Amino acid sequence: MIPENTTISQANLMGSIWMVAAMAAFAVEDALIKATAGILPVGQVLVFFGFGGALVFAITAARKRDRFFGPAIQSSAMRYRMLFEVAGRVFYALAVALTPLSATTVILQATPLVVVAGAAVVFGERVGLRRWSAIWVGLVGVVIVVGPGRDTFSMLSMLAVLGMLGFAGRDLTSRAAPKSVSTAILGLYGFVAVFLAGIVIAVWDSKPFIWPTSTTSTYLSAAIGVGVIAYSFLMKAMRTGEVSAVTPFRYSRLLFGIGLGVYWFGEKFSLEMLIGSALIVTSGLILIGRKRIAIRPRKTPAYELDVPSLSTADSNKS
């Protein structure tokens, strides 16, 4: 929450800094997972990553004496959240491993557009003509990035779209999740979902176990550490300042993801990807701007609203 003796503008500045740091960390996490998946099977990478992250959050929750089980954890909203999390993680991890990191990062940025559309359909939230127009323009941007009909089109690019839809479903069900579930518990179950996603991929892939080398162990350890830090930074950002002021900085992940893709993996950023990125980001900013106008009479601090988990990863894995 906003500390005492801190103005809204100061809180918004700090929240924005936390958000940019979180998005940078999520991008590094994706790059580390992609680098590791080039050596080890993807399923095995996610099993190690999910187990390590879950262990960290389990220790954190135990120190805070949070409840690991109970009616809130066993609610239907939490069960659906877990299913969407697993689906999102399975497809997004495959996209990170098998397709360019820059394209995957761009497609992930359409998650808020789908969340707003889903909120209108599922929760009956009012979405005006301008916001619907922005949503459709953003989805056109996704189509341009995926590029059906182009010679360079690959069905593997649909993995990122399916992952994005899974994360959107997770964020929607998070809104219906009981408020009594702590951040540490959400983080724990988020990484448990990663672990389960790894098992699903490992069974489907049927590749033999490969014992990690010192290099892959370093990558995995770094990915776990950076992933936990990214998630913690994201929670800090969303609980500092106003949601409408902090959320736009989620799109900084686009710059970090593209930069790492080009620098680390030698990817090329095409004109189509540039146009698609511009449409997606512009649409997202329009949605945020319209929401900010709608809530202007009452400046709602982020800590009073529901907080989505993992990125997301940006995230928003984000």
Most confident of the following: 2-6, 41-45, 120-124: 41-45
pTM, 2 dp: 0.80
pLDDT of residue 69: 80
- DSSP annotation string for 19-31: HHHHHHHHHHHHH
In DSSP notation, 98-137 reads HS-HHHHHHHHTTHHHHHHHHHHHHS-----HHHHHHHHH
Predicted confidence (pLDDT) at residue 77 exceeds the cutoff of 70: yes
pLDDT band per the 50, 70, 90 thresholds, residue 2: low
End-to-end CA distance of the chain: 23
**Mean pLDDT value across residues 271-281:** 92
- Of 9, 18, 73, 7, nearest to 235 by C-alpha is 18
Tell me: pLDDT of 318 over 70.
Answer: no
Q: Which residues contact 188 (CB under 8 A, 6 or more apart)?
A: 54, 57, 58, 61, 68
Query: 291 vs 214, which has greater pLDDT?
Result: 214
Phi, psi torsion values for 207, nearest 5 degrees = -85, 145
Burial of 1 (0-12, 13-18, 19+ CB in 10 A): exposed
The pLDDT score that the predictor gives to residue 308 is 39
Mean pLDDT computed over every residue of the chain: 83
The residue assigned the tokens 């002021």 is 245
C-alpha 40/C-alpha 200 separation (Å) is 16
Q: Under 8 Å CB-to-CB from 212, ≥6 apart: which residues?
A: 40, 48, 220
Tokens representing 16? 């924005």
Give percent of the chain with pLDDT exceeding 90: 31
5 pLDDT tier (thresholds 50, 70, 90)? low
Contacts of 258 (CB under 8 A, 6+ apart): 102, 105, 106, 269, 277
User: How far apart (Å, rounded) are the C-alpha atoms in residues 49 and 221?
Assistant: 8
CA 249 – CA 253 distance, rounded (Å): 8
**CA 267 from centroid of its chain's CA atoms:** 22
As given in the structure block, the two tokens for residue 228 are: 């936990």
Report pLDDT for 301.
46
Model confidence over 161-188: pLDDT tens digits? Answer: 999 999 888 888 877 767 677 778 877 8
pLDDT for 112: 86
Q: Average pLDDT in the 289-306 region? A: 52
pLDDT (average), residues 121-131: 85
Residue with tokens 């710059």: 255
Q: Three-state SS for 153?
A: coil
- Whole-number pLDDT of residue 20: 93
Q: Which amino acid is at 76?
A: S
Q: Which residue has the higher pLDDT, 76 or 280?
A: 280
Alpha-carbon distance 23 to 316, whole Å?
A: 8
Q: Give the mean pLDDT of 110-136.
A: 88
pLDDT digits (tens, 9 = 90+) for 207-240: 888 988 899 999 999 998 998 898 888 878 877 7
Q: How confident is the model at residue 305 (pLDDT cuts 50, 70, 90)?
A: very low
